[in-house]
Homo-oligomer: A and B are copies of this chain.
């Protein structure tokens, strides 16, 4: 029987934003692997039940093939920055005939676990190439933030990670500059962490040389979670301390506008036409 490994995007944090397909993949898991809080969310989703998506032949070896009974897959929560080890562990479990599900927040293909899984396959045990890796897409943080704000991605856009853990800072700075020159809306993941407290201010300084001071900047924190928070300002006023590890920073382009509404939250959108 072909070994199977699921890589599942859990969406931004609101269980209503999880797809039926993702719930079904979770329902068959014998093992959950991922960053601790995502493994906990996946376990909670399994406990809540798969909803209308009962396990079926696409989860052949899950314990629930005969109908839904909440089960408790083995949880292998691990810390961030251990992605390759986690990927190898999941691939090993799959070859042993288990049904591991690797989980990411948002979409696993956007700065999530999907790439690490294929990196491990490409550079590891040749038998891993026989594993049927099924990536299940999820609502990424950038899509959730965009919907929450209005339509800031209305035109061409890019998604960049500001972290220099996996690429040197000059590459980050060069990409930011070229994206701004191209007139793209920029969604910045990983804008700030304890070990990188100053990079977002450096990014804003760099962008001030290219973009006008009234360029809209939005800090969208923990969208879809109970502690979500939105702050919009201008490039002139933006400061790194307005973001934390859970914030996605959106940098508007020349077509990005704010609709101010008396007594109500404003909405941000990017007009579709570029002249």
Task: Enumerate chain A interface residues (CB-CB to B < 8 A).
Answer: 9, 11, 14-21, 24, 49, 51-53, 83, 107-110, 114-119, 121-122, 129-130, 133, 135-140, 143-144, 146-148, 150-161, 166-168, 171, 174-175, 178-179, 181-184, 257, 259, 261-262, 264, 267, 269-275
| A133/B118 contact (C-beta < 8 A), A11-B19, A158-B159, A178-B179 known | no
Chain B neighbourhood of A275, CB < 8 A = 167-168
Query: In the complex, what's the smallest C-beta–C-beta distance from A252 to chain B, in angstroms?
Result: 13
**Is there contact, CB below 8 Å, between B156 and A118?**
no
Chain B neighbourhood of A135, CB < 8 A = 146-148, 150-151
For A166, give its contact among B14, B21, B274 (CB under 8 Å): B274
| A109/B153 contact (C-beta < 8 A), A118-B269, A139-B137, A259-B122 known | yes
**Is there contact, CB below 8 Å, between B182 and A114?**
no
**Is there contact, CB below 8 Å, between B182 and A174?**
yes
**Is there contact, CB below 8 Å, between A121 and B274?**
no
Most buried by B among A143, A160, A267: A143
CA of A54 to CA of B259, assembled, Å:
32
**Is there contact, CB below 8 Å, between B151 and A114?**
yes
**Is there contact, CB below 8 Å, between A167 and B259?**
no
**Is there contact, CB below 8 Å, between B24 and A16?**
yes
16 additional A-B pairs beyond A9-B143, A16-B24, A114-B150, beta carbons within 8 Å, are A11-B19, A17-B21, A17-B137, A19-B19, A107-B146, A108-B151, A109-B146, A109-B147, A115-B151, A115-B269, A118-B267, A118-B269, A135-B146, A155-B167, A166-B272, A178-B181
Which chain B residue lies CB-closest to A129?
B261
**Is there contact, CB below 8 Å, between B156 and A157?**
no
Which chain B residue lies CB-closest to A179?
B182
Which chain B residue lies CB-closest to A135?
B147
Which chain B residue lies CB-closest to A161?
B156
CA of A207 to CA of B139, assembled, Å:
30
For A130, give its contact among B115, B168, B261 (CB under 8 Å): B261
What are 7 contact pairs spanning A and B, CB under 8 A? A109-B152, A114-B150, A118-B150, A122-B271, A156-B161, A157-B158, A167-B274
Query: In the complex, what's the smallest C-beta–C-beta distance from A95 to chain B, in angstroms?
Result: 15
Query: In the complex, what's the smallest C-beta–C-beta distance from A104 to chain B, in angstroms?
Result: 11
| A158/B179 contact (C-beta < 8 A), A114-B151, A150-B135, A166-B274 known | yes
**Is there contact, CB below 8 Å, between A146 and B157?**
no
Most buried by B among A9, A108, A154, A179: A154
CA of A152 to CA of B135, assembled, Å:
12
CA of A130 to CA of B259, assembled, Å:
11
